[in-house]
Structure 1
Amino acid sequence: MRYLFTYIVCVLSLIASAQNDTEIYVFSCDLLSATPLSEANNISRNKGYDNQPYFCSDSLIVYAGTLKNQTEIYSYQLNTEQKKRLSYTVSGSEYSPQNIPNSAMLSAVRLDTDGKQGLYAYNPKNGDSKAILPGEVIAYPYWIGPTMLMASVIENDQLHLYLFDLVKKTKRLIAEQSGRFIQRIPNSDRISYTKQAGTNWELWAWDPSNAQSKKLFDLGTSQDGCWLPNGLFLCSQNNNIIQIDPKSHQARNFYTFTNPNTRVSRLACSPSGKKIAVVTSLIEE
């Protein structure tokens, strides 16, 4: 039953993407400028679902991109503008790629054509893969160490956030009704994550020093964002990117796309903060 639910959710997502193609733009970021984002570069340039960008370094991005009605892992070198396919799964699609810390391997969520969903490690040189945490229906993962993983997991048709220790083979519940955003807070050991609150979303932080979670601030209807190295938070809202100061909770407009039909979803920031990846689509008028 849980595999069937996962399969339906992903199929509906792909149908929506076919109607409103998503593209990944990488901007140069200068926080001291009146217009902080400039020099937009469409790195996907592909019909269909191109999403979930992740900076492995300041110059290397991995993302999920459509190829012949399924999605594969792609990399893009910003310095050379070279795009490369990294996965070759015949019977499944990959989502949420990211590098595994202290390793040459990548991880990605794979949805097989039979509806089975799980997390796999991939060798970017040849596309070989092996299962991580077999039996767990991982939806949105985030590595906090080479053997430590925090992930939103599908259980009883809902997402719940867990901390996995791959060496000790332990699993700890962090939060119920979690979302798709999980990311370390800059200059901190705390891990931030989104949590559903009715029809809206909240940003929370889990502290490994005391294993406690604390609410940071409300996000409204936005469930996508990223942290800047200076500790400010960016989130998407319609055709805008909003900046939130976690200390004062003050929000201001960071960037607006001139086309009001643009919809911003996922965001990613490079380690240095000099590049921002933005996923956009156009709504039908």
Structure 2
Amino acid sequence: MKKLLQLLVIMTPLAVFCQPDTEVFLFDLSTENNKLTITNGKNISNNEGYDNQPSFQNEHTILFASTRNKQTDILQYNSITGVKKWLNDTKQGSEYSPTQVPKSKYISAIRLDTTGLQYLYYYRKGKSKALLKDLKIGYHVWNSRNVLVSFVLGEPHRLVVSNLKKNTHYTADTNIGRSLHNIPNSNLVSYISKKNDVWEIRSLNVKTYETKKIANTVPNVEDMCWLADGSMLMGKGKVLYRLDPKKDTEWKIVKLFDKENFDNITRITTNASNTKLVIAAEAETALKPTLENIRWIAGNWKGEAFGGITEENWSEPSGGSMMATFKLIVNGKVNFYEIETISEVNNSLLLRLKHFTSELKGWETKDETVDFPLIKVTKNKAIFEGMTFESIDENNMVVYVAIGQKDGSTAIVPFHYKKTTN
């Protein structure tokens, strides 16, 4: 057992250097008339290595952990001037989850030393001070100047409420996720419970320690943030979801980041006025736009959408194209058909389709097709203007389709498919 613990101490610092290549992206955000508009995205880290765990220090200042000299330190970014500033220079240690301490001039962060020690620290003007040395904290949120809610590492991980003034620590729940947030217009904190197969977003009363279910998460997603109106955002892959627990029963897609060069969204956060959105995600590598690189689309796929059963049959690449038939069955009857092709055209790919009624009468005119030019191909996605194919694994695929609405807006509709052997 002693040798195992020694091995873990040695391996823990090495894990710092095996972090994914993530970047931090800043967007303008509008929530006018309950509609989210996300524009003007830019990479504000633009740095090789691990850049992640962003939080807003104030309306225009963002903190995040950023890689330099084979470790992560606290980087401050001003969204008005674009100026970056390092706030610490820890020797033989890395900082994570930098957070402004309420009503103070301190910043708190998790420090992982190369010796394996991991503590929560205060930082100010380049100086630091360790806190709560009896707790190995992985993630944290300040509910007030003296009340800290933290994810404490262990078997299982614990949700702990600490009162620094009274020096008390109470375990409110176990088997939790890393996402901890103050709930707007309340003294409650939200956290992710992983006790069940379906993860839950729950609230915690820091005074009574009572917890209540708010909603289920997007499947297998544990990072989220709150908007001022009481709705929540979660990201998965290149998709941003929103749910208002007061009136929604299901998560709704509000943005597909099809043109942005990132994937696998993790952390998301907004400033208090909801005018800025920050996302941490993995840097994305584009592949050559060839049919061979999207061969995984081939097969017979069945799923559900539009209140019915959907089926797509895609051929293997041949003759410079792939071909598919699609049909939607509602209440036991065919609603409509489609014929689709993806062709290699001008060193790129072009998706074309035509719609037909159940009697095979064309929706479009004789020579008309609905065309979707290619944006890019990645390891598990074929992204066209208005339609994105995503491979989840060899037997599961999601197709995101942008569909115009009567009010002039566009809704992103996901088609969840399973590959069949029939």
> What's the TM-score once normalised by structure 1's chain length?
0.91
**1:74-119 per-position Cα deviation (integer Å, ceiling 9, x unaligned):** 1001111100001110110000001111111100000000111010
> What's the TM-score once normalised by structure 2's chain length?
0.62
CA contact (8 A) 2:77 2:85 kept: yes
**Residue aligning to 2:99:** 98
Q: Shift of the alpha carbon at 1:282?
A: 3.8
Measured in 1, the distance between the counterparts of 2:52 and 2:171 equals 28
**Residue aligning to 2:249:** 249
Distance 1:249 1:81, change over 3 A: same
**Residue aligning to 1:166:** 164
Q: Shift of the alpha carbon at 1:239?
A: 1.0
Unaligned runs of 5+ in 1: none
What one-letter code is carried by the residue in structure 2 that aligns with 1:42?
Answer: N
CA contact (8 A) 2:193 2:202 kept: yes
Q: In the alignment, does 2:84 pair up with 1:83?
A: yes
Q: Shift of the alpha carbon at 1:182?
A: 0.6
Measured in 1, the distance between the counterparts of 2:9 and 2:202 equals 25
Superposed counterparts of 1:94-243, under 5 Å = 94-123=95-124, 125=125, 127-156=126-155, 158-198=156-196, 200-208=198-206, 210-219=208-217, 220-243=219-242
Distance 1:161 1:80, change over 3 A: same
**Residue aligning to 1:70:** 71
Question: In terms of mean alpha carbon deviation, does 8-17 or 129-138 score higher?
Answer: 8-17
Measured in 2, the distance between the counterparts of 1:9 and 1:133 equals 20
Q: Shift of the alpha carbon at 1:207?
A: 2.1
Distance 1:275 1:263, change over 3 A: same
Distance 1:154 1:185, change over 3 A: same
**1:147-172 per-position Cα deviation (integer Å, ceiling 9, x unaligned):** 1100000123x311100011111000
Distance 1:96 1:10, change over 3 A: farther
Distance 1:256 1:11, change over 3 A: farther
**Residue aligning to 1:27:** 27
Q: Shift of the alpha carbon at 1:6?
A: 7.6
Q: In the alignment, does 2:265 pair up with 1:264?
A: yes
Larger radius of gyration: 2
**Residue aligning to 2:57:** 56
Unaligned runs of 5+ in 2: 286-378, 380-422
What one-letter code is carried by the residue in structure 2 that aligns with 1:47?
Answer: E
Instruction: Find the residue that maps to 2:185 and give its secondary structure.
Output: coil
Q: Which runs of 4+ in 1 moved over 3 A?
A: 1-14, 32-35, 197-200
Measured in 2, the distance between the counterparts of 1:117 and 1:4 equals 16
Q: Shift of the alpha carbon at 1:35?
A: 6.3
CA contact (8 A) 2:23 2:283 kept: no
Measured in 2, the distance between the counterparts of 1:3 and 1:122 equals 29
Q: Shift of the alpha carbon at 1:141?
A: 0.9
**Residue aligning to 2:18:** 15
Instruction: Find the residue that maps to 1:96 and give its secondary structure.
Output: strand
Measured in 2, the distance between the counterparts of 1:90 and 1:13 equals 14
**Residue aligning to 2:39:** 38
**1:25-49 per-position Cα deviation (integer Å, ceiling 9, x unaligned):** 1100112387611011211110000
CA contact (8 A) 2:13 2:114 kept: no
Distance 1:151 1:24, change over 3 A: same
- How many residue pairs get aligned? The number is 279
**Residue aligning to 2:336:** none
Aligned-residue RMSD, C-alpha = 2.1
Instruction: Find the residue that maps to 2:32 and give its secondary structure.
Output: coil
Q: Shift of the alpha carbon at 1:14?
A: 4.0
CA contact (8 A) 2:13 2:115 kept: no
What one-letter code is carried by the residue in structure 1 that aligns with 2:213?
Answer: K
CA contact (8 A) 2:13 2:113 kept: no
Measured in 2, the distance between the counterparts of 1:15 and 1:176 equals 27
Instruction: Find the residue that maps to 2:102 and give its secondary structure.
Output: coil
